[in-house]
Amino acid sequence: MNGLDTHFAYRDIIEIVEEIGDKIDIIVVPKVNRAEDIYFVETLLGQIESYKKIERPIGIEALIETALGCVNIKEIVASSTRLEGVVYGPGDYAASVQMPMESIGEMDANDALYPGHRWHYVMHALVSAARAFEKRVVDGPFAGIKNADGLLQACKVGRAMGFDGKWCIHPNQVETVNQTFVPSEKDMQWAKLVLDEYEAALKQGKGAISVKGKMIDVASLRMCRATVEKARLAGLLND
């Protein structure tokens, strides 16, 4: 849909949802700046669903791509049970905060000048807020459709920072994104080993364990469970 700062937005929602609302899983709302933006979309969706007798509620994903959206991220992610996730929009965000970016999502000479990751603050803010309210969080697009090495590096950074995935804008990006964000066989084997060892330790009345010389605590278990769940959602494990 078009942004809420345009006169097209409400017609986009009404016309599309009234016609095929029963076939829609989720609506991505661009340039979400405040919780009220989500309230508006949520209210309109609820009215249309009631009118058209659509039984399954349509979810919302918020595209965060402005300075205002970044500073209001906590209120945005807490605004609605319909909100399923947030997406980082690097290009418009860069323009919003007046940070130069030659190509959306790609590193350039400006990044080489900065002693760190220039976009760490906004990316970490989105991940932290999303996790606090158990929402999905997705990294934004990478415009260099022929820059395979750059895409791979961007995916690795996104995964390291806690993102669930990354938007693709070209078919040739799909494989790299999937291979990076879907747990590897090594990751799955480690996670299952830790969880199995922990269950065995519980049956023996042990409160703490180590696996292959590594201390396992509650945080370790949470990360392993998250790995297994991601693998299950990707169809790599049976339910």
pLDDT in tens, the chain (239 residues): 999 999 999 999 999 999 999 999 999 999 999 999 999 999 999 999 999 999 999 999 999 999 999 999 999 999 999 999 999 999 999 999 999 999 999 999 999 999 999 999 999 999 999 999 999 999 999 999 999 999 999 999 999 999 999 999 999 999 999 999 998 889 898 999 999 988 888 888 877 788 988 888 888 889 999 998 888 888 887 65
Query: What is the enclosing helix (H) or strand (E) of 121?
Result: helix 120-132
Domains of the chain (ranges, CATH numbers): 9-181 (3.20.20.60), 185-233 (no CATH)
Q: d(Cα 72, Cα 175) in Å, to the nearest integer?
A: 33
**Side-chain half-sphere CA neighbours of 33 within 13 A:** 8
CB of 198 within 8 A of CB of 171? no
Q: d(Cα 61, Cα 51) in Å, to the nearest integer?
A: 23
Query: What is the enclosing helix (H) or strand (E) of 110?
Result: helix 109-113
What residue ranges in the chain does DSSP mark as E strands?
26-29, 59-64, 83-88, 136-139, 165-166, 209-211, 214-216
- 218: three-class secondary structure by DSSP: helix
Q: d(Cα 24, Cα 56) in Å, to the nearest integer?
A: 9
Nearest partner of 157 among 181, 130, 133, judged by Cα: 181
Dihedral over alpha carbons 39, 44, 45, 50 (to 10 degrees): 130
